[in-house]
A = this chain, B = another copy of it.
Amino acid sequence: MNDRFLRACRLEPVDSTPVWFMRQAGRYMPEYRALRARYSMLELCRTPELAAEVTLQPLRFGLDAAIVFADILLPLEPMGAPFEFAAGEGPVIHHPIRDLDAIDRLRLVDPDESLGYVLQAIRILRSELQVPLIGFAGAPFTLASYLVEGGRSSQFARTRRLMLAEPEAWNRLMGKLTEVVRRFLRAQIEAGAQAVQLFDSWVGALGPDDYACSVAPHMRTLLADLETTGVPVIHFGTGNPALLDPMARAGGTVMGIDWRVRLDDAWRRVGFHKAVQGNLDPAVMIAPREVIQCKAREVLAQAAGRPGHVFNLGHGITPDVPPDEVAALVDFVHTQSPSLRSRRAVPAS
């Protein structure tokens, strides 16, 4: 069993820096596209054997962790907010949630009943994997923004308006989502997930004061509960480095770092008592290999061989990345990181 990833999450020394990639099972892989030609995205998610198969596909690159194939929106349908993936447009939620009545009609989900297919995929995977398995969920703010906007958005104006102008409705919505995410991640951990990641993909739309007032209280509740399970909790948000401090204060064993900030600055702000994950710019992955390696070396150098770094991109891998570059980068991180570590080595106390 390769446990580099779990050791790094716990700030323990490792032989070389562990590496996995957000969205590592996905459209850039020919094997994935072949399956998607036969099944929709949601069919793959909802068929445990297929979800497990897709999860395993990228492991041929030598990655140090697997992440169960699923989508952050899956809990929304059993909550009472069905959605579909419109071609080229991303998810569309048929009846956006914009007032207190709609919020009150949202149901608290029993994951065993309505999301059992994800749990079953986790059970299948645990019997096959030689690397740790990560479970995940969208964070409450990000799920709320999908519910309120009805899909993707560039500015999240409706979400921010609800948050600022109707704090009671907002807090009731966030409270429900927090409880659903809490139950879902606990169920994933019980099914066998050895770490979980919270994706707060759109939280960067907020400034630090609004985050502290309207999001952090819910995140504290959620993260405090998850941390009692003992599995590492990766807390990832994108888009606004000014949120790193309040997000780290809200909780998480490992902070996921967006590419738009230097890893060394980010880690200093988060505090060295937490592990960090990241943060190569995903756009680099379609550049020539020497550029990828140069930028990856910078990330490793900023981590400075300090225990507690999980190498990853600063956001999901994009569909145009050549699979060979993924394999080459995994190998590069594994072979280069030990020398960076030894260069920093000082006599231990």
A interface list, Cβ under 8 A from B: 154-157, 160-161, 164-165, 204-210, 239-243, 259-262, 265, 281-284, 286-288, 291, 295, 298, 314-315, 318, 320
CB <8 Å contact, B157 and A154? no
CB <8 Å contact, B157 and A260? no
CB <8 Å contact, A281 and B208? no
**How distant is A302 from chain B, measured CB to nearest CB, in Å?**
10
CA A157 – CA B239 in complex, angstroms?
Answer: 15
**How distant is A6 from chain B, measured CB to nearest CB, in Å?**
28
Given A160-B283, A241-B241, A241-B242, answer yes or no on A288-B207 (Cβ-Cβ < 8 Å). Answer: no
A207 to chain B: which residues have CB within 8 Å?
A: 259-262, 281, 314
CB <8 Å contact, B262 and A240? no
**How distant is A320 from chain B, measured CB to nearest CB, in Å?**
8
Given A155-B283, A240-B241, A283-B157, answer yes or no on A260-B165 (Cβ-Cβ < 8 Å). Answer: no
CB <8 Å contact, A209 and B283? no
A161 to chain B: which residues have CB within 8 Å?
A: 283, 286-287
CB <8 Å contact, A157 and B210? no
CB <8 Å contact, B165 and A288? yes
A243 to chain B: which residues have CB within 8 Å?
A: 260
**How distant is A267 from chain B, measured CB to nearest CB, in Å?**
13
Closest residue on chain B to residue A206 by CB atoms: B260
**How distant is A142 from chain B, measured CB to nearest CB, in Å?**
15
A314 to chain B: which residues have CB within 8 Å?
A: 207
CB <8 Å contact, A287 and B242? no
12 A-B contacts (beta carbon < 8 Å): A155-B315, A157-B320, A160-B283, A161-B283, A161-B286, A164-B287, A205-B260, A207-B260, A207-B261, A208-B265, A209-B298, A240-B240
